[in-house]
Amino acid sequence: MECNPAMNYTKKELINSPAGSHWHKICIKNHHGIVVPLFSLHSVSSCGIGEFHDLIPMISWCEDIGFDTIQLLPLNDSWTDSSPYNAISAFALNPVYLSISKLPNVKDSEFAHLRNNITSKRIDYKTVRNKKMTFLKGYYAREKNNNSDDYNNFIEKHRHWLEPYALFSANKTPPSPVSLKTYECEVDFHIFIQYHCFQQLKYIKGFATSHKIILKGDIPILINKDSADVWSLQSLFNATYSAGAPPDMYNAEGQKWGFPIYNWTERESDCCKWWKDRLAVASNFYHIYRLDHIVGFFRIWAIPEGKTSKEGFFIPEDHNVWIEYGKKILTMMLESCSMLPIGEDLGMVPQEIRRCLQNLGIPGTKVMRWERRWHEGEDFIPLGEYMPISMTTVSTHDSRTLTLWWRDCPEEAERYASAKGWKCHPKISQKQHYEIIKDSHNTSSLFHINPLNEYLAMIPEFVHDSPDEERINTPGTISHENWSYRFIPSVEEISSNDELKSLMRKLIS
């Protein structure tokens, strides 16, 4: 990718940072992209949910419109849990995303029945997974003896996480295997499926690389208590505490996530190895990655078992060691991996932590509606004053969409409209929506990446009449609506719509 001379004023600063080698690889220029929850896609080939190969036309579309980055939500196996952040493995991919049509020796007539629920507005994870796993069980029974040297090499290279995952998954499978032979078969099945997941997503990265498109993964900081990792490596985790967040201006009760914290103090070398292995596997699929809750590497809110969020405390407790504590961990991650992390540093983050991330050369995240002078009248920070080492976005998978924010936060919308010289009506206009999206691509950040549904909203028939239907997740709630969002248009309809193409190109022209 060719560098943009207009951004050279940051080059020396970035190249000399600990993340310098990663910046060399991706090039210091403006990067424009989309966030795609893979589960939300659907195509003529996919079976009930977005699949790995549905990304191929999206990559070609991005190349066509001049965008160069596709950000994904986590793709790890979460069993029947719809949340991609509640994985049962930090390594294994979710079989629900396998492109059935691209498996070797599969005929279209064999899986046509799996497509019959693709038109539903929301994704029924349990039904989709059960149907696909039933098909894959039959496929495995037929193809299990056709393994190649590549398959055996895959097992040998990834044995450290693959076998514990397969054993854990076999034990979770209802009903439990009734004999040693069927148990061994169940274990081998999960290994077999991971091989095909690995092959498909690795192919997608290769296709993206050949088309100069950056794939950005998403690596959650924490892992499910009920996971293969916690089960097989218990000493790395401290399950007597639950990670969460302290009370703040948005949540007076704080948050309790239920994830165990790491034993960094007692098992530092083992925790480091686990993270190095995790990043090494992820680098097969991604060029860069979102590092979820990056502030947690500096200090994590730990809630004792049986206590409320308010009764938690930070580990380490001494705030004087936070910077060196987090810097040491993140430097290890930078030195052990070829991917550049982009930190999710939203919320109440101490300024000294943000300065540390800047010094490390790790971009933070700028959600435009929250970039304000909170202690100086709450005015919006001018777009040209964003730190270049950052990513700008108008919303996230956890926030209200732009349309919902405008409707539900009228005082903030009024303030934003006033700064732009606009009249503020209860419903955002198409022109205002477009202009804010365009603004997000013209900040001084080096990365400009928005959720795909924010772009689809530029074509009214591509989004639901009720903007509430466009929300991907509402944190702190348990609802079928969370993580089940499906785009109205298919991949084919998105990539072939000339009006959308024209609007997308103008955003960055």
Residue 256, beta-bridge partner list:
244
**DSSP structure string for 190-214:** HHHHHHHHHHHHHHHHHHHHHTT-E
Token pair for 325:
């504590």
Side-chain half-sphere CA neighbours of 193 within 13 A? 30
- So what's the pLDDT on residue 227? 98
Q: What is the DSSP letter of 176?
A: P
How far apart CA 79 and CA 415 sit, in angstroms, is 44
Instruction: Specify the pLDDT at position 114.
Output: 87
SS3 296: helix
Count of domains observed in the chain: 1
Domain for residue 88, yes or no? yes
Residue 325 inside a domain? The answer is: no
Write down the pLDDT at residue 402.
98
**What is the mean pLDDT for each group of 10 consecutive residues in the chain (509 residues)?**
44 89 91 98 94 98 98 96 96 98 93 76 91 96 91 97 97 76 93 98 98 98 97 96 88 91 96 98 98 97 96 96 98 96 94 96 97 87 95 97 97 93 92 97 97 98 96 91 96 98 97
Q: Is 21 a member of any domain?
A: no
Order of strands across the sheet that contains 340-343: 340-343, 288-291, 214-219, 69-72, 31-36, 447-451, 390-393, 364-367
Mention every residue, 6+ apart, whose C-beta is less than 8 A from residue 337.
276, 279, 280, 283
Task: Give helix then strand counts, H and E, for the chain.
Answer: 17, 14
Inter-CA distances, 472 with 38, 108, 212, 310, 481, Å: 12, 31, 28, 28, 8
**In this predicted structure, what is the pLDDT of residue 481?**
93
pLDDT at residue number 88: 97
Output the furthest CA–CA distance in the chain (Å, rounded): 72
CATH number at residue 191: 3.20.20.80
Is the residue at 118 inside a domain?
yes
- The answer to whether 211 and 203 have CB atoms below 8 angstroms apart is no
| Structural contact between residues 230 and 259, judged by C-beta atoms closer than 8 angstroms | no
Identify which of 112, 102, 98 has the alpha carbon closest to the alpha carbon of residue 38. 98
Residue 375 maps to a domain: no
Q: Is residue 139 part of a domain?
A: yes
> Considering the entire predicted model, what is its pTM?
0.96
Q: Give the structural domain span for 184.
A: 41-227
pLDDT at 118: 61
Q: How many CA atoms lie within 13 A of 430 on its CB side?
A: 8
**Cα separation, 256 vs 238, whole angstroms:** 15
Q: How far apart are CA 409 and CA 400, in angstroms?
A: 10
Smallest Cα–Cα separation from 197: which of 267, 269, 349, 92? 92
**In this structure, is residue 71 part of a structural domain?**
yes
Q: Specify if 140 maps to a domain.
A: yes
pLDDT of residue 10: 65
